[in-house]
Amino acid sequence: MAQAPALPGGFELPLEPRLPRIGSVDQVAVEERAASLARRSIKRESKLFALDLAVRMIDLTTLEGADTPGKIAALCSKAMRPDPADLTVPPVAAVCIYPNLVPIALERVRGSGVRVASVATAFPSGQSPLEIKVEEAARVVELGADEIDMVIDRGAFLAGEYARVYDEVRRVKEVCGDAHLKVILETGELGTYDNVRRASLLAIAGGADFIKTSTGKVQPAATLPVTLVMLEAIRDVYEETGRKIGMKPAGGIRHAKQAVQYLVLLHETLGPEWLTPELFRFGASSLLNDVLLQIRKEKTGRYQSPDYFTID
């Protein structure tokens, strides 16, 4: 009798006993499904709800070598009050920055509810010794970051060393304490949807609170089909174990229309329960202003010039 495919080498780990079978993904079908959901149109009232939700889900990001205290200060102001002309627009979920800038950001956003997320573990490549990566994560937590965005070691993953990938996630999770752990798979480097699914389950087994598509440094970054594959992995884990994992597509989401498509995908795959910043984030920088533009349009019926929205 046919059996489910054997676990690949190195997969014989202390995985959660009730994690779903690894399974596989059919490329043609998953892309077709994602494309058909992208053609849905949502109600006008739902649109405002969706846009407002999108703002609350944004991890406003700057990850440049040129980031300075001044840049971070501006980003934090924008995060706390995205549209100074319309105070009903909520703050975003978090700012996402490099470790050295965490203290400055913390000081700026204190009391606002905006969280501080920092990348860690030799972002963006992850190609450094494990001890250093764990140490980096520990230091970022010490500095007070609320959320840690770690990268998996794609080199190890593609070499088939799944146990190493799993161990790294587990070690980082151990030092995270109360901080939320987002695990970046860098799907643009994984090559197949099967790998995306496998890496998602590995990260979740290792203790990820969120799984995240991309660093933003590699093309392609987030796409609808990749996100669908990851959401389906999350759904399988939820149905099997009851554990709720969050999802963060990052990179390449620039327009409000795209954000709404992601929310439609999320709603169809995981249902209304997941429509919260606790379980879904957008990693983006330029998306915010387009969403603000659309919110203003929904409220006033007119499009404003982009000059009326601050560039920070």
List the catalytic residues: 149, 212, 248
What lies within 8 Å, CB to CB, of 34 at 6+ separation is 223, 224, 225, 227, 228, 265
- Nearest approach in angstroms of CB 183 to other proteins is 21
21 vs 299 by CB, closer to other proteins:
21
Burial (0-12, 13-18, 19+ Cβ within 10 Å), 101: buried
Rounded to an integer, what distance in angstroms lies between the CA atom of residue 23 and that of residue 183?
Answer: 21
86 vs 268 by CB, closer to other proteins:
268
Binding site for other proteins (CB under 8 A): 1-5, 23-26, 28-30, 32-33, 36, 39-46, 49-50, 232, 239, 263, 267-268, 272, 275
- Nearest approach in angstroms of CB 51 to other proteins is 12
- In eight-state DSSP terms, residue 100 is G
- Nearest approach in angstroms of CB 27 to other proteins is 9
Strand partners, 95: 60, 116
Look-up of token digits 């996630």: 169
3 vs 88 by CB, closer to other proteins:
3
Does 124 sit behind a cis peptide bond, omega within 30 degrees of 0 on the bond before it?
yes
131 vs 239 by CB, closer to other proteins:
239
C-beta of residue 85 within 8 angstroms of C-beta of residue 309 = no
9 vs 306 by CB, closer to other proteins:
9
Q: Kind and range of the H or E element at 92?
A: none
- Nearest approach in angstroms of CB 34 to other proteins is 11
- Nearest approach in angstroms of CB 157 to other proteins is 20
244 CB-side CA count, 13 A: 10
Among 134, 66, 77, smallest CA distance to 101 is for 66
